[in-house]
Amino acid sequence: MPELMEQMYCSQQIVIPPKYPYVLKRYCKAAIKTQPYDLLRWSFEYFKALAEHRPPPVKLRLEYPIYSTEGGLTRGCLKVLANQLSGMTEIPVVVLKQSWQGFCLDSDELKRILCLCEVHLREESVPYRYFMAVAAGLLTKCLTHTMILICESLTKEPDGVSAAIPVGEFIA
């Protein structure tokens, strides 16, 4: 019994780092906004991204009602993926898979998108614009809505403002 008493903790023994409440609050807000299907896997990807100084897989806002594909891709996910991958003209498939898994999305849907992007004709990469176009096309019902979604995903303007992008983004 004396061993048990030595193992018990009191409030003076537990030291909470000063940044811990801030980190926990940001994590909780991110989880609520993103609503991940697999919270444990998403949490791993979230903290891994923070540790690697990458943008975490967090939606900008809570989406409701959620309009998604069978594999879980939503407009919010597409916008965040666009921001995470925006610096690349060719996305390595490994990087794309890592970002995709960060949102706990279905890997079969990614395979379908990559097939539509004809990745098998290239060397393990997919053009950024091809990926964005095919993914946006899966979320919409017509070409007009696809173009609008692409503009909304690629724009640097804040939400609620005209989703204008440079013409060079479309034509290259």
pLDDT tens, residue by residue, 31-78: 998 888 888 989 998 999 899 898 888 888 887 766 667 778 888 889
Does the pTM of the predicted model rise above 0.95? Answer: no
Cβ neighbors of 79 (< 8 A, separation 6 or more) are 59, 60, 152, 153
Q: What is the predicted pLDDT for the residue at 87? A: 82
Beta strands in 42-163 (DSSP E): 90-92, 125-127
Q: What is the predicted pLDDT for the residue at 6? A: 60
What phi and psi values does residue 4 have, to the nearest 5 degrees?
Answer: -65, -40
Helix (H, G, I), strand (E, B) or coil at 65: coil
Q: What is the rounded CA–CA span in Å between residue 140 and residue 134?
A: 10
